[in-house]
Amino acid sequence: MIRSYNFYVSCERLFRPDLRQRPVLVASNNDGCAVARSAEAKALGIKMGAPLFKIDDLIKQHNIEVFSSNYALYADISNRVMSTIEAMVPRLEIYSTDEAFADLTGLGCSVSLDAFGHQLRNRISDWVGIPTCVGIAPSKTLAKLANYGAKKYPQTGGVVDLSNRQRQRKLLAITPVDEVWGVGRRITERLQRMGISTALQLAETDLKTLRKQFSVVLERTARELRGESCLALEALPQQKKQIVVSRSFGSPVLSLEAIQSALATFITRAAEKLRYERQSARQLTVFMRTNPFKQQHPQYSNSVTHTLTQPTDDSRELLNLTRSLSERIFRAGYHYNKAGVMLGDFYQPGFFQASLFETNEAKPKSQELMNVLDKVNGKQTGALYFASQKKSSSWHMKRERLSPAYTTRWSELPRVK
């Protein structure tokens, strides 16, 4: 298991070496809450999810650098990290933006796994510049635990190999049970009432008891902690069953035109994701709501779902339908805070059996047009767009502290003077 340290913060520091020892925060959408914190920021007592307006005095007092979330940068750096790992291992499962599981089968015959872990970590640092930690073990849950140990204990050099049974038990004995992958707050509380407070105690608990008192999932976790591999490596990501694209607005939106502009952008992005999955969707849901935390304003929330006669991945068809659905649920006089779209009921192209009485035909040259659209926008995001996406900008996210697109836009490449 390979995981990056404070990934969002590391990406921001990559092109700002002057921030290496300074506290850094990355904010959520609309610069609302802290979603990533450097070690220095954590040491100041800043909690995950802390609203920025509540810690404004602390930010000024300690000269904390705050960034808006730069998802384009993070995605690009993540791809570089994963490509570097993939070149060194037989198989790779990308678990999240900053985490991956790797199959090391056969590598132990030519080099010690601990040494390989350090080689991997050093290469990522040299080639990409992102700090990582590496956990090695016979099961996924143990590998996650080894990664936790590599991050928590600096003397490990960022690599922990739990191939040895004695090392497994030693780390399990000093690890709180709530640090075990998949063990949440409520399960932790129940386990502690049973006298189970460490990962080792969980591993040694009777499996039948765990299944009876909790679930087969926790039983499987205990088996994994014992070194029994129950979770196979997924080299190919699972196909999505639905695609949701939504955003909170940077400021309250009152007009239907502004909401439709936002929804046009959302459905266009959803359609791009759908085509990337090589799927077509037969169901579309559009939703919008006001801010439930501002009770001084009238509250309203609504959604509508439409099922097409035939599945589609054509942005034009989905745009027209989104516009029609939004008109059905929009109500004037409200301060809208969020809107979004959801695609569902997926089919692979050519696998949908239409009704004998349906005459709905695909738009001519639809696939060719969508291919051109995706190819151009793949090289430069937003190069081609539909006019309805640009009707209003009042809904755009608040991103006042956004760093440059260092790696994805020529005009914003870093310059050396």
Domains of the chain: 1-163 (3.30.70.270), 164-238 (1.10.150.20), 242-390 (3.30.1490.100)
Torsion of CA 302, 307, 312, 314, to 10 degrees: -40
Q: What are phi and psi of 54, to 5 degrees?
A: -80, -20
pLDDT band at 391 (very low <50, low <70, confident <90, very high): low
Residue 348: per-residue pLDDT: 82
Q: DSSP letters along 163-220, please?
A: -SHHHHHHHHHTSBGGGSTT--HHHHHHHHHTT--BHHHHHHS-HHHHHHHT-HHHHH
How is residue 69 written in tokens? 């979330």
Predicted confidence band at 301 (pLDDT cuts at 50, 70, 90)?
A: very high
> Is residue 84 pLDDT above 80, yes or no?
yes
Q: Are 284 and 268 in contact (CB under 8 A)?
A: no
Model confidence, pTM? 0.81
Question: Is 34 in contact with 402 (CB distance < 8 Å)?
Answer: no
For the sheet containing 24-27, what is the strand order? 34-37, 24-27, 65-68
Q: What is the pLDDT of residues 33-63, one digit of tens each?
A: 999 999 999 999 999 999 999 999 999 999 9
pLDDT per position as a tens digit, 205-228: 999 999 999 999 999 999 999 999
pLDDT for 351-365, tens place per residue?
666 655 555 555 668
- Per-residue pLDDT of 315-353, as tens digits, reads 999 999 999 999 999 999 999 999 999 999 998 876 666
* CA angle 242–343–239, rounded 5-degree value: 30
Could you give the count of Cα atoms lying within 13 Å of 191 in the half-sphere of its Cβ? 29
For residue 152, pLDDT over 90 is answered with yes
Does residue 24 contact residue 67 with C-beta atoms inside 8 Å? yes
Flag whether pLDDT at 239 surpasses 80: no
For the segment 10-38, the average pLDDT, to the nearest whole number, is: 92
Residue 255 confidence (pLDDT) above 60: yes
Q: How confident is the model at residue 244, as a pLDDT?
A: 94
